[in-house]
Structure 1
């Protein structure tokens, strides 16, 4: 009764007031988004939506002066009348074009803490989120001439680059945890990292650090990475560019957008890349196409349809290998795989996103998505040499097809209970995936044995160059079904005290894999000890406290639980239990000089009840060579500290910097050969980064751009990091020193034409990215990259 009475009083008060609404458009008729609209001489105001629309509610009847502004725009004012119980409509037309507005918005972007995080789903500002977040926008992507996702994530503190088997995918570690396929998203949907995602055409990359289980389910505890693609626009424009670089790197790109009608807009982005490498024989051949359509289905509903296709052919490269447990002293360019090795991938995605606004406060979003990923691989395995350099060559032939379907439904809105404000998120999601992996047989008597060679003797690298004949002998079909529902509420008790609370329920079903033997025409179910499908479910809560003593300062502390499924089986072929990961985080987010600089500090602790790793021995006590056979190695703890600094303290001056420290170690051990306090495979002790760009806007050097970037990677281990014997059972750890690379950039823009050049690793630093199984790949030497672009 009391609650109903409060709502009635609130509704009556609102009926005595009036509202203002309208649309802001550019000189060429396109919607003007993110323009500030305020009532002059008051604190009431808002920002236009992506559609250029605005609404200001709760105004007492009377005359007002409505003012629109944005840094770099011509300010406009209009006198309007507000009538009780009615909405007064008024429109504005800017003197600037849509392209000019976009340029101004990029230059005058909000501070890092004032941005809305798309990957957070609920529209919460970064400063109100009790979790560390970092957004790399198109300015960073353009200025640093990035080509790969790894080029972007080097700017994210707490994220370390690693290596995988054969360098056929990108490998990342956040807060010590490996970011698997579930942790990399594209426009909020799980995306395969196979074939190495194309990053040069992205609008931005968002990194939500720590646990994101409430929002996505089934992700590891380190971070979630969301790649945001460029969207259609209702004004004509685009860009064509040519990028060239060292080792015969060539990459033309075209980006064209515009309206098809008053309610339909399009965008098409295409790029073709061909390159050799500082590594002998290694080359890449890539084709990427990204078309999209935007439909205005009325004033409150829009449909975005987008897709992309990536064909990526790359020479698999296991690097320099090891000799007697150490990195060999051989040339950085030495290629140890077979000369004919190949890894060919095809990735296609399609996504439909419908957004309907019930009001200015409530919005419904529905997403359906599809992805296919095909991989065809043939080559030798990682080289591991004896003390004299002798290494066997064992071939691997594999082919796989993966299909994924995803559905999401979210409702977001704002409601008040008395003086308490609620920012609510309610949602559900589901995805289904199936993978078919093919098995091969060799026609030659030696099978996968390709002979031996000597890592220390280049004359033995290519003594054999024939390609053995193989044929498909069967396949294994593995389906997975996931679904979840979640609710979250950001409760503003006062302007200074806020609480974020939420919970997710996750259900996952993994039917027994089906294996087909083509030679015998038989079908069997995997893991006969399992009576049926593996079913897992869990609740993942999240709770956070936020205190904002000033509008520019936010202090927070939070707890989140993460549920992670473990694939594979134990040594007795029984399914593995899931791991429960608890994360504790606290931090402070600060804006200085009216948002021109953001300085954020985060401290965290992540506890994993059970970490599953490849088993050392099988059930018979023999060495295990099957990566799907695992054991729980014990509990782990990851402690760390992260510092973010971003901003623009002067016109034309942009910078970002960061530092992270991580101690990810075993705190309770179950597996043999592991000691408490030992660092977990893949973890990097410390990383740091810094980037500074300055663009001259006046005088004879107007349009000149200068920049520098530095990236620091701390000490790591390749392979296991055992502190004491028995070393022999698990392999000798290979120590890798830390390193720093420095990039210098210079460019010039004249009207619509621009040129940008970069020299990377200017000191020609020699170091390595490493994988747990001794893929030791040298970092690139000093290289050049240049881009010529024409915007229209």
Structure 2
């Protein structure tokens, strides 16, 4: 099957807009140049580099004794225009460094060249800028694939930097994402991994990146290696393809340095948490540097009989092939063993709040064992001062071995017949991309151009097992969650025999072009187009004993092709304020298959976004506001039942298209560093995602009802203050608060159409929502730094709030109670 989606009118508008803007501006620019030729027609163009040859952005460049100047862009370039002929003193200033001066001559009708070399490496300068808390609106995100400051982007961006990650003692990705408003934490079956919801959409594996490459979301990512986390909200389909409309999360890891150093730390906390962390970096030779980060974590839990063990290693090498080319090779290895935990479950489809937060109902032998290996190589080549070529390739191998009891759905009296699930899943994922970025002028218009292509190959392998010694209806045994002594629970692990293996390959390819056009100092236009191709191969099933393929006459390969356009406009009335509006359209290829084992059709998503971004008090405070609407023509969800309409579906890869949804929302972001030592981050979001068009037939969803798992309101705030002077210099105090509003678990309400003997039909609604209240947690931190030593302690959930993360209507996991954690570190 082949499908193409192309909003022709919109594309014609984009190209017409480009032609309409270029021609008059080129003409007017030529006339203006002739009129001013004899007044002030000279200029200075230049580049700022570090001692290791890398470009340095955000350096202030100005003409001594005048008010003319510029700020270097992320690629180190600056341009001062309209200078009269003569001799000038050019001054460069950067945070924490002494000003540099050079003499330069300017001639009419010519542009002179200048270059500054700052006396530190790029890594050292980056650390200086992070310490100074550079405005987030002026910090380009890696996942943007081109150095564009968020102030110039018609899209909402959030960055959580290394300082916040360290201050909050984050150990996993969810600890970091709590600081991103509009992104809420959910849960999965058995709490074996983390899942996030943004703007109403579940962010699965397609929306999680590491250093710009897609990664598996089945393992909880390690946070000890993170330099920062970038969140590009809304659609990022033009850059990555095959992503939902909610957000894209990019984890940026720490990289090698050309000076020796590192840190050794020990983290310990409640419930026997022990986590040593080692981070060592330095040069191997003049052009080769290394970094290796390793950690081992072992912990019990506030949940009885639940424990986890994690081993993580992240080595990397950075090789500088001359002044213009660098090669970064990275790898990581994660081995994680975690007890599957369905929490306290439901009682007659309701949350049994009378049950203890620590109650555990899984079998004592249950296990979830994960092994993940990743390797990547990034090659960056600075062709000249204007153009850069980047090449990246990566491979990830993921294996999960799982055996556990299933869905805790007890009867009203507490009885629950425990069933079992045995699964073994493997994923092999290759990805590659090539990007060419550059800047140039066409008349009076300035361009920042991105041209790129990417390709992916994804192979999912799943296994089916026969489990021995089960009773009627596949029940392992029966227990009572209200009265544990009512029945004698089984403790033996049944024999599970692997019977079949199913392989599902997917191939993706995309090409894209994006141009940021600077029309004037106040107006910019961002326009782009992506062409995507995806081939989803029909699943092939093999008999494990004979390795013979099982015939599947109904399944067929699926081919999807589509154009994804994007256009936005930015208006900057002053240098630190930007109004923006944007539109994007993309298709999301839906992975998995339907109840008839056919591949799913893609979903088409339209997104509209407007907002304002502000920097105040010399970039010490950023305040941004965003409004959005996202329309999905046919949302894919996990199917509720199998083809017989009776058997409950437990396979997350079996899905259904459920109808049109609309997601409306608003977001407020605040961040800053108002005074030395004081850092804060805060935000609030509102979201209303509901079904807006369904068939109204049997099994279809009720229109106007908020989708499950999506809170209407979320908010976050964190404040840390380190005393810079006095006898208590180095004392750090911090407080963080996180709010998740009311939401529904279970399943959305569906229509039930029952034929009657008289030929008419009776229409009713099947209500299966599980209401969950909102909650707020507060964390208090206290620490002290002295020379190379530091100690930082935190009490989380200081009010001992009790609430739940709920997956559908059976995995009900209480949030962690009040806990203590402390980290002792030595830097060298």
User: 1:673 and 1:429 mapped to 2: Cα distance?
Assistant: 37
Shift of 1:30: 9.7
Matched, 1:487 2:516: no
User: 1:311 and 1:462 mapped to 2: Cα distance?
Assistant: 34
Which residue is equivalent to 2:758? none
Q: Is the 8 A contact 1:37 1:54 kept in 2?
A: no
From 737, 743, 750, the equivalent of 2:773 is 737
Which residue is equivalent to 1:783? 819
Report 1:579-598 matches (<5 A): 579-598=603-622
CA offsets per residue over residues 703-731 of structure 1, 9 Å max, x none? 11111000000011120242898999967
Q: Is the 8 A contact 1:47 1:54 kept in 2?
A: yes
User: 2:57 and 2:633 mapped to 1: Cα distance?
Assistant: 45
Which residue is equivalent to 1:650? 675
User: 1:439 and 1:731 mapped to 2: Cα distance?
Assistant: 33
Shift of 1:474: 2.0
Structure 1 stretch displaced more, 718-727 or 447-456: 718-727
Shift of 1:396: 0.7
Which residue is equivalent to 1:605? 629
Q: Say if 1:648 and 1:665 are closer, same or farther in 2 by CA, change over 3 A.
A: same
CA offsets per residue over residues 400-438 of structure 1, 9 Å max, x none? 111100010111111111101111111110000111112
From 782, 787, 792, the equivalent of 1:746 is 782
Q: Say if 1:665 and 1:644 are closer, same or farther in 2 by CA, change over 3 A.
A: same
Q: Is the 8 A contact 1:347 1:372 kept in 2?
A: yes
Q: Is the 8 A contact 1:564 1:581 kept in 2?
A: yes
From 625, 631, 636, the equivalent of 2:661 is 636
User: 1:176 and 1:74 mapped to 2: Cα distance?
Assistant: 49
From 363, 383, 402, the equivalent of 2:427 is 402
Which residue is equivalent to 2:88? 64
Which residue is equivalent to 2:703? 676
Matched, 1:38 2:61: yes
Structure 1 stretch displaced more, 668-677 or 657-666: 668-677
From 427, 431, 438, the equivalent of 1:413 is 438
User: 1:489 and 1:614 mapped to 2: Cα distance?
Assistant: 38
Q: Say if 1:581 and 1:536 are closer, same or farther in 2 by CA, change over 3 A.
A: same
Q: Say if 1:88 and 1:40 are closer, same or farther in 2 by CA, change over 3 A.
A: closer
Q: Say if 1:649 and 1:379 are closer, same or farther in 2 by CA, change over 3 A.
A: same
From 510, 527, 534, the equivalent of 2:536 is 510
Which residue is equivalent to 1:478? 504
Shift of 1:39: 3.7
Q: Say if 1:31 and 1:281 are closer, same or farther in 2 by CA, change over 3 A.
A: same
User: 2:374 and 2:654 mapped to 1: Cα distance?
Assistant: 32
Q: Say if 1:274 and 1:82 are closer, same or farther in 2 by CA, change over 3 A.
A: farther
Which residue is equivalent to 2:714? 687
Report 1:418-497 matches (<5 A): 418-444=443-469, 446=471, 448-459=474-485, 463-497=489-523
TM-score (norm 1): 0.93
Q: Is the 8 A contact 2:694 2:700 kept in 1?
A: no
Which residue is equivalent to 1:766? 802
User: 1:230 and 1:475 mapped to 2: Cα distance?
Assistant: 38
Point out where structure 2 has 5 or more consecutive residues left out of the alignment: 1-21, 754-762
Structure 1 stretch displaced more, 399-408 or 448-457: 448-457
From 735, 741, 760, the equivalent of 1:714 is 741
Q: Please, what is the CA RMSD of the aligned residues?
A: 3.0
Q: Is the 8 A contact 1:112 1:135 kept in 2?
A: yes
Q: 3-state SS of the aligned residue for 2:187? A: coil
User: 1:561 and 1:385 mapped to 2: Cα distance?
Assistant: 44
User: 1:89 and 1:592 mapped to 2: Cα distance?
Assistant: 30
Matched, 1:270 2:294: yes
Q: Is the 8 A contact 1:39 1:64 kept in 2?
A: no
Q: Is the 8 A contact 2:513 2:528 kept in 1?
A: yes
User: 1:570 and 1:536 mapped to 2: Cα distance?
Assistant: 17
Q: 3-state SS of the aligned residue for 1:699? A: coil
User: 2:636 and 2:443 mapped to 1: Cα distance?
Assistant: 49
User: 2:489 and 2:320 mapped to 1: Cα distance?
Assistant: 63
Which residue is equivalent to 1:156? 180
Q: Say if 1:476 and 1:233 are closer, same or farther in 2 by CA, change over 3 A.
A: same
Which residue is equivalent to 1:170? 194
Q: Say if 1:114 and 1:37 are closer, same or farther in 2 by CA, change over 3 A.
A: closer
Shift of 1:446: 4.0
User: 1:473 and 1:723 mapped to 2: Cα distance?
Assistant: 36
Point out where structure 1 has 5 or more consecutive residues left out of the alignment: none
Q: 3-state SS of the aligned residue for 1:698? A: coil
Structure 1 stretch displaced more, 536-545 or 177-186: 536-545
Q: Is the 8 A contact 2:450 2:515 kept in 1?
A: yes
User: 1:168 and 1:89 mapped to 2: Cα distance?
Assistant: 53
Q: Say if 1:621 and 1:80 are closer, same or farther in 2 by CA, change over 3 A.
A: closer
User: 1:571 and 1:486 mapped to 2: Cα distance?
Assistant: 34
Q: 3-state SS of the aligned residue for 1:369? A: strand
Report 1:621-632 matches (<5 A): 621-625=645-649, 627=651, 628-632=653-657
Shift of 1:109: 2.4
Structure 1 stretch displaced more, 288-297 or 81-90: 81-90
Report 1:547-586 matches (<5 A): 547-586=571-610
User: 1:352 and 1:652 mapped to 2: Cα distance?
Assistant: 37
Q: Is the 8 A contact 2:392 2:434 kept in 1?
A: yes
Shift of 1:575: 3.0
User: 2:615 and 2:116 mapped to 1: Cα distance?
Assistant: 34
Which residue is equivalent to 1:704? 731
User: 1:728 and 1:522 mapped to 2: Cα distance?
Assistant: 47
Q: Is the 8 A contact 1:35 1:69 kept in 2?
A: no
From 139, 142, 151, the equivalent of 1:127 is 151
User: 2:461 and 2:643 mapped to 1: Cα distance?
Assistant: 27
Which residue is equivalent to 1:303? 327
Shift of 1:85: 7.7
Q: Say if 1:46 and 1:777 are closer, same or farther in 2 by CA, change over 3 A.
A: same
Shift of 1:325: 1.4
Shift of 1:283: 0.7
User: 1:616 and 1:269 mapped to 2: Cα distance?
Assistant: 43
User: 1:370 and 1:686 mapped to 2: Cα distance?
Assistant: 38
CA offsets per residue over residues 358-387 of structure 1, 9 Å max, x none? 222211111011110011111111210000
Matched, 1:374 2:399: yes
User: 1:406 and 1:551 mapped to 2: Cα distance?
Assistant: 38
Report 1:277-292 matches (<5 A): 277-292=301-316
Matched, 1:250 2:274: yes
Report 1:291-370 matches (<5 A): 291-328=315-352, 329-370=354-395
Which residue is equivalent to 1:221? 245
Q: Is the 8 A contact 1:693 1:706 kept in 2?
A: yes
Q: Is the 8 A contact 2:91 2:99 kept in 1?
A: yes
User: 1:255 and 1:460 mapped to 2: Cα distance?
Assistant: 52
User: 1:170 and 1:675 mapped to 2: Cα distance?
Assistant: 28
User: 2:659 and 2:293 mapped to 1: Cα distance?
Assistant: 47
Shift of 1:631: 3.2
User: 2:125 and 2:145 mapped to 1: Cα distance?
Assistant: 26
Shift of 1:580: 0.4
